[in-house]
Amino acid sequence: MGDLPPWLQRASMDQAPVGITIADARREDNPIIYVNDRFVDLTGYPREEVFGENCRFLQGPETDEATVDRIREALDAEEPVSVVIRNYRKDGTPFWNQLDISPVWTDGEVTHYFGFQKDVTERVELRRELERRNERLDEFVEDVSHDLRNPLNVAQGRLALAREADDGTELAQVEEAIDRMVELVDDLLALSRDQSSMADCESVDLATAAEDAWALVATGDASLDVATDESVAANRSRLLTLLENLFRNAVEHGGATTVRVESGEGWFAVADDGTGVPPGERDRIFERGHTTKPGGTGYGLAIVSEVAAAHGWTVEYVESDSGGARFVVAL
């Protein structure tokens, strides 16, 4: 086959399904001397506004500087480069551009740069959504391991007592703890699949929920004081999760000997007589991974905050009357 005639070469570039630019490498700032129809459609810029400009005019406030540096380094080294870069159309709308630049050599020197552009926004957004889902999956795994620890500890402790005393009552407590673990697994799997865990809200007696949650936490010699006869509209399983984590935080982190559940119009609270939270730490206690206890996971209070938010509640830390922690949940 012989060389393509010039008119066919030009038509092939003009009608190509990707944006094409040609920049003059011999002139300062490498001005654009050619763009095809697809580039005009892609960017919204008419040819008369593009000629004489450097391709940097497509960059904007969220264009990654490291990517720009990578392009510049490749051009300085007279090497081809391929990047995905955040660019902007003439109307200001952003898009992700698969940009490939190749140097054109003539008589031993780079005389031009061929640029190829393709809108890959959908692909990039899909990848980012997958990354977000993976992050949520990681958080889900942490939640499962954290929430299962309470009933698992109870089951292990009760089983040891049952073996020593041959007491059926202790075995019943083991069965209850295991049932709670099964419930948690089902509950958290639903959350991981983006199903609404709040769909089954009902009127839940707060005192009964507090006592049930207390039985599922390894509280040692600490005691529970329930001073409420209120009911709340809640998903019972998730309310137990909230209370379990508050109880565990009070005993394990605060060293509390007494934990009190109380309520008023439009709120309930869990207070303790432990050490409380240092003032410098209070702004961060609901952050995932933040803990003041060596070896702590930093997930307990984050889970409390998330369960509250899923119900449309808010949770706030204040100091209790005894100087310990008091978590107030506003309904």
What is the pLDDT at residue 297? 46
The whole-chain average pLDDT of the chain stands at: 84
What is the pLDDT at residue 170? 63
Q: One-letter amino acid identity for 87?
A: N
- CA atoms within a 13 Å half-sphere pointing along the CA-CB vector of 207: 7
Residue 163: CB partners within 8 Å, gap ≥ 6?
none
* Chain segment 280-290, per-residue pLDDT in tens: 788 888 887 55
What is the pLDDT at residue 162? 72
CATH superfamily entry for domain 6-119 = PAS domain (3.30.450.20)
Residues 29, 58: Cα–Cα separation, whole Å: 15
What is the pLDDT at residue 293? 53
Strands (E), the chain: 19-24, 32-35, 81-88, 94-106, 109-119, 202-205, 223-227, 231-234, 258-264, 267-272, 314-319, 325-330
What averages of pLDDT result for each successive group of 10 residues across the chain (331 residues)?
64 82 92 94 94 93 93 92 95 95 93 94 88 72 66 72 68 71 61 53 95 87 95 92 91 89 96 89 77 54 87 93 93 95
Task: Give me 266's structure tokens.
Answer: 């439009």
- CA atoms within a 13 Å half-sphere pointing along the CA-CB vector of 250: 35
Residue with tokens 């109380």: 262
What is the pLDDT at residue 23? 94
What is the pLDDT at residue 191? 52
Name beta bridge partners: 76.
Answer: none
* Pairing state between β 258-264 and 267-272: antiparallel
Task: Give me 181's structure tokens.
Answer: 């673990």
Q: Where are the domains of the chain?
A: 6-119, 126-330
Start-to-end Cα distance in the chain: 79
CB-based burial of residue 198 (10 Å sphere; 0-12 exposed, 13-18 middle, 19+ buried)? middle
* Chain segment 157-177, per-residue pLDDT in tens: 777 777 677 666 667 777 777
What is the pLDDT at residue 51? 95
What is 126-330's CATH topology? Heat Shock Protein 90 (3.30.565)
